[in-house]
Structure formats: structure tokens, C-alpha cells
Structure 1
Amino acid sequence: MTAIALITAPLDEATRNARVYRGDILVFRQLAGMRALRDRVAEHLRRVMGDDPESVHRAMNGAGIEAASNALRRDLGRDEAIREALYAALREAGVEPGRTYEDGLKLRVQPPAEGARGIVTEPLGAHRDTWGSNVMAQTNWWSPVMPVTAERTIALLPAYFARPVANNSTGWDLAEVLRRRRKGEPLDDYPFLPVVEEAPDPSEAVAMEIEPGDLMCFSGAHLHASVPNTTDRTRFSLEIRTVNADDAAAGRCAPNVDGRAVRTAWQWFRRLSDGERLGGMV
């Protein structure tokens, strides 16, 4: 049975991962690294989106917010203070940098529903990240930059962790997505990432109201989605995915109950300690 646990001390790699692989949702409370990361990201947000970033949708249209969000993602990726704070937070949670690989910190920006139209800002439908990566040892990490509410956050559907759901991952090919993006071709008729084909029961959704400075840890196999933003404030959050190399090699992982993509995206992940890739695409 899935448990949602508040954690106030590091969990060693084996213990934490075993809990994640069986479906537990862990919230590491008020990590010093996450507070430093939140403050640094907030500086970038105010620089680009004004003194009140949560009101950016009143000053910019959807295309402008998408462009600014993409620029911010690039800026965060070049900021060494961001990387140091992120890695410090992961170490506080018990992550071992020499055996753990990550796919890069992502900023997600979700304005109120009418302002969300791009890859960075569009609310995400219900999906498992593992439908795209095929890496069943994948762990997801998520944290809000500014306070969230149940109407402006991420939702998990823990009842579906071991329950198959209809989805469009069958035959989905990451190589096709990459080919189209390299050539500038549209993805209108091809999913950027696989999603459900039928909306799950909304009563099963758990809207996660954690605090800035908290860091939520859950399996990439958990079904999850954006809560459509029905408030008058833009939501800013951070996410990253990790893989423990020993677990991946040994087959210690979450169950694959319904993923059918044709490739495994090992190349998404780089080792925290030195940037070495986990592997190629197979």
C-alpha cells in the first residue's frame, strides 16, 4: 500500500529506493539545500518576470511566458550556485553522487489555465514518466519555488501505481521525437511524451501541498499530472529525475504494469559526481 511520509532525516540509498520502488511518496522537510535553491531560483524569476513573478500572466501573454520560461531554464542550467544547492539538497536526502545519475533540473511554469499553451507551461495530463524513459529504477523529485495550493500544484494518483491504465506508449519512439525536434518538424500528430488515453478517476488524485524548501521523492512509475491552475497566480516548481546505477544494473526497480515504449533512454541521465552518461539509447 502506498504511503505518504514526511521525512526529517536522510534515508540511505538502499532504504529510500526500496520504499520508492514499492510506491511510497516521501517528502523531505525543509532541506537547507532546497531553501538555498528556492532563493536562487526566485532571484532569477524576479529578474525576468518582475517583482511579483506569480502575476506574470498579467504582464505577458502565453507566448511571452513560454519564451521567458525557456530562457530561464537555460539560465538555471548555467548557474553553478543552482547546481551546488541542488546537489546539496540531494545529499541531505541521502543520495550518493558517485552512483546516482540525473537528467537536469527543470523549471515548470504554470500560469492560470488560459495562459498555458507551450511545452514548459502547458498542464501535463496524467502520465507515468517511465512510459517515456523505460527506466523503471527512475526516481522523481519535485519542489515548489513559491507556495502552492490544491488548485495550483502537482497531483499523484497512488491508487494506480500497480493498476494498468490505457495509454499511448505502445510503439512510442523517443528517436522519432528527437528526429522531429532536430529538423524543426511539428509534433502535433505525435505525443511529446506518452499520456493516458482515458482520464483517471479524479477522486483518486492527491493534490500535493508541500512547502517551498520541501523536496518530494516518488517513483517515475507513479501516475501523476498537473492540477489545472484555476487560481489567479502562476505556479513555479522544480523537478529532476535520478537513477541509481547499481539498482538499474541489478533490476531493482518499480513494476512496469503498462509501459510499452520501444526504447530505453539511458542517455538522459548523467552522474552527479562527474557528468558521465549512464548509457546510450537502446
Structure 2
Amino acid sequence: MSVVLSNSRVSDDDRRRMLFQGNVFLYSATPSSTKLIEFARELIEEAFGDRDPQTAQFDMPVEEFAALLAELKPRFIHHPTCKKLLPLLMEELGMSLGDTYFDVPRLRTSTSDHYLDSGISYAYHAHRDCWYAAPFCQVNWWIPIYEVVPENVFALHPQYFDRPVRNGSGRYDYADWTAVSRPTAAQHIYTDTREQPKPEEELDLVSDLRLVPEPGGILLFSGAQLHSTVANTSGRTRFSIDFRTVHIDDVRSRAAAPNVDATCKGTTLRDFYQAAGLERIPEELAAAYEAEALAKIT
């Protein structure tokens, strides 16, 4: 059974242990998360000009909307301001910046009424990040930029946390994804033909868990949790930020959530930066994970 803990004051070590057991943490907006969403709003509203970003989809051809996101999202992802604010946010939640590594923050969108569900605004099917070569010690962060409602957030499916799901992760190679598939995202406007790990059996997703944080509120959950984009029927495009963290001790010791069904190739560990100095995660650790993943499928 998964438990949701609100504004918990447990230590980061205890929190990670509980996350790896399938529990979920929800925090109110902090000074740094507020600065982060304010910065995101500046970029978003500058890009959309006179249009309200949350309703602009109803006034724009979908091709124009996708092209705008194709410029906006990388600008946010790689902006130096993000790399300054994320460590401050981690510190506010009691994390050691010397031991914590993070990947770049993604600016996500979920449009209403299936306006744009593919490519640059992909509506994710039920999946675990670990099907996409994420380490099982990964912690996922999710932060809404504007007000959200149950009809435009995402859903967790904790009943599958320790229950295998037949899936296509065995055909997924992270190196191939980063070299070939990820760069073509903006080209997939009407359908998305990129090979991605998906469930290959019927799932019970009715009893999902939807959490609705305030703007700047923070949701933490294990990368091994099954989760999916909610079919947005709210009439407003949802804008959110997500990124991921790992603790170097967990990477070394293999402290992690259980792997019940992932068989993908590669590792995302090379994408992570140390929060204190922005150094990459040690190559020998990434190479070891890559070799272990290959050994399991050969």
C-alpha cells in the first residue's frame, strides 16, 4: 500500500527509503520553487505574447503551437537560471548538495481535448521511468506552474508498484533514443511513431491516484512508480516542470526500488549533474549500470 505524506519532516535518507517502498511525498510551495515557476511563467508568457498560454491552443493552428513549444522548451531546459534554482530547492527539502545529482528540468505541457498529444507535447501512456533506462534509485519531482485540476494533472497507479506489467522495455535502447528519436519530437504533430516502452497487457487504471498541488507545490515519487498523463478535459493547457534526482550513495550501494519488469538497454545516469558543482556523475558508475543492464538481457 502506498501512502501520501504531506509536508513531512523526515530526513532525506528516510524519505528516499520510503519512496523506494512506493510512498509519495507532497510539499507546499517553497521560496525557490516559487522563483522557479515565476521564471518559467516569464519565458512562457513572453513566447505566447498577447495570448493566454493556458487557452492559446483554441486560437492557434496546431502546427504553430508545436513550433512555439519547440523553441520554448529547450530555452527553459538549458537556461542557467534553472541550474541555480534547483539546488536551492533541493537544499530547502534537506538534501545534501554534494551527494545529490539532478538532470535538467523539463517544461511539460498537456493540452486539452487531444489538441496536441504527440511529439513535443506527448501525452504519456502508463509507464515507469525505469522502462526508459532510469536507475531504480531515481526520485521524480513534479511541479505545476499554473493552477491545476484533477482533469489535467497526471495519475499514479501505485497498485502496480510491486506488480509486474508486461511491457516493451526490452526493445528500448537509451543511446538510440537520445541519438535518433528524442531530437525528432517536434516533427510528430498528429501521431507519434517513435518506439517507446508501453504496457502490453490490459491494465486497471480506473483506481488511479491524482494529486493536485498548488502552483509551485512539489510532488516526489519513485521513478519505478507506474504513472500516466490524464486525458485533459479541463479546457486549459497544463504547464508543469519535472526533473529527477539520485543520491550518490544509493547509486553506489544499489539502494533502490524493486525492478519488477524493466528489461531496457543503457542508463540515463550520464544525464545527471552534481547539485553542488554541476560535475557529471562519475563515468565508472554509469558504465557499471550500463554493463549490468546489458548483462540482464544477454
Q: Same fold (TM over 0.5)?
A: yes
- Provide the C-alpha distance between the structure 2 equivalents of 1:80 and 1:177, rounded to a whole number of angstroms: 25
Q: Secondary structure at the match of 1:5?
A: strand
Asked whether the 8 Å contact 1:134–1:261 carries over to 2, the reply is: no
Asked whether the 8 Å contact 1:131–1:260 carries over to 2, the reply is: yes
The 5 A counterparts of 1:63-142 are: 63-142=63-142
Moved over 6 A (4+): 182-188
2:296 corresponds to: none
Aligned residues: CA RMSD: 2.2
Tell me the CA shift for residue 134 of structure 1.
Answer: 4.1
The 5 A counterparts of 1:242-261 are: 242-261=245-264
Tell me the CA shift for residue 8 of structure 1.
Answer: 5.4
Write the letter of the residue equivalent to 2:65: I
- Provide the C-alpha distance between the structure 2 equivalents of 1:65 and 1:206, rounded to a whole number of angstroms: 30
1:29 corresponds to: 28
**Unmatched tracts of structure 1, length 5 or more:** none
2:13 corresponds to: 14
Q: Secondary structure at the match of 1:177?
A: helix
Write the letter of the residue equivalent to 1:53: P
Q: Secondary structure at the match of 1:207?
A: coil
Provide, for residues 83-116 of structure 1, a one-character-per-residue CA deviation record: whole Å limited to 9, x for no partner. Answer: 3332221211122211111110000011113311
Aligned match of 1:238 in 237, 241, 262?
Answer: 241
**Unmatched tracts of structure 2, length 5 or more:** 291-298
Between 55-64 and 16-25, report the one with greater CA deviation. 55-64
- Provide the C-alpha distance between the structure 1 equivalents of 2:241 and 2:144, rounded to a whole number of angstroms: 6
Q: Structure 1 pair 208/120, CA: closer, same or farther in 2 (3 Å)?
A: farther
Q: Structure 1 pair 97/146, CA: closer, same or farther in 2 (3 Å)?
A: same
Tell me the CA shift for residue 14 of structure 1.
Answer: 0.8
Tell me the CA shift for residue 272 of structure 1.
Answer: 1.6
- Provide the C-alpha distance between the structure 2 equivalents of 1:103 and 1:36, rounded to a whole number of angstroms: 19
Tell me the CA shift for residue 73 of structure 1.
Answer: 1.9
- Provide the C-alpha distance between the structure 1 equivalents of 2:106 and 2:242, rounded to a whole number of angstroms: 5
Asked whether the 8 Å contact 1:62–1:117 carries over to 2, the reply is: no
2:293 corresponds to: none
Q: TM-score, normalised by structure 2?
A: 0.87
Tell me the CA shift for residue 142 of structure 1.
Answer: 0.2
Q: Structure 1 pair 45/179, CA: closer, same or farther in 2 (3 Å)?
A: closer
Residues 1:275 and 2:272 are matched in the alignment: no
Tell me the CA shift for residue 190 of structure 1.
Answer: 4.7
Q: How many residues align?
A: 280
Tell me the CA shift for residue 79 of structure 1.
Answer: 3.4
% identical equivalent positions: 29
- Provide the C-alpha distance between the structure 1 equivalents of 2:48 and 2:183, rounded to a whole number of angstroms: 31
Write the letter of the residue equivalent to 1:25: V
Q: Structure 1 pair 15/8, CA: closer, same or farther in 2 (3 Å)?
A: closer
Q: Secondary structure at the match of 2:169?
A: coil
Q: TM-score, normalised by structure 1?
A: 0.91
Residues 1:264 and 2:263 are matched in the alignment: no
1:214 corresponds to: 217
Between 201-210 and 182-191, report the one with greater CA deviation. 182-191
Q: Structure 1 pair 247/4, CA: closer, same or farther in 2 (3 Å)?
A: same
